[in-house]
Amino acid sequence: MIARSCATIVTHPFHVITLRCMVQFIGREAKYSGVFDSILTIYREDGILGFFAGLIPRLLGDVLSLWICNMLAHFINTYAIDDSTSHTGEIKNCSQAVTGFFASMLTYPFVLVSNLMAVNNCGLAGGLPPYAAVYPNWLHCWGHLSREGNMSRGNSLFFRKLPAGKMYAIEQKRFF
């Protein structure tokens, strides 16, 4: 858990740079053009804390995912799998993968909030209205997404859904 948390903290600035480089596609902007230019831009505009935008929900999600995955795998491997079968090792490896997938599904809202906060109010069109709301902190983001029923938005590559009770206004590029 400590190693995973340290790795998340060390790599998060690069995650922020990556997300902002992708989000600039929405407004056809060219604010971030490379790693070193992005580092300078983020530092100049947001200071050192700009590199850690969205870190708290990402850390919480990583730790929860790790705990859920390991606890479920332990319970399955200990109580549900019969050690007398010849394929016990393969089944235990499979259970770790399945529980990892399940844990990532449960902790997806933390990933979503972290990614939204990494681009929140960063000066790119994709991080500003009408494409995204501006949040003072990640708890406000979580509350807003939760109230609108959008905690799982974007979690499926193939099965996209319209938020419940919402309509899409093409001219405003926003759900109402």
- Using 50 as the pLDDT threshold, list the residues of the chain that sit under it: none
Q: What is the dihedral of CA 15, 17, 22, 26, to 10 degrees?
A: 130
pLDDT tens across 52-88, in order? 999 999 999 999 999 999 999 888 888 877 777 767 7
Decide: 68 and 99 in contact? Cβ < 8 Å. yes
How high is the mean pLDDT of the chain? 89
Structural domain boundaries in the chain: 1-171
| CB 23, CB 127: distance < 8 Å | yes
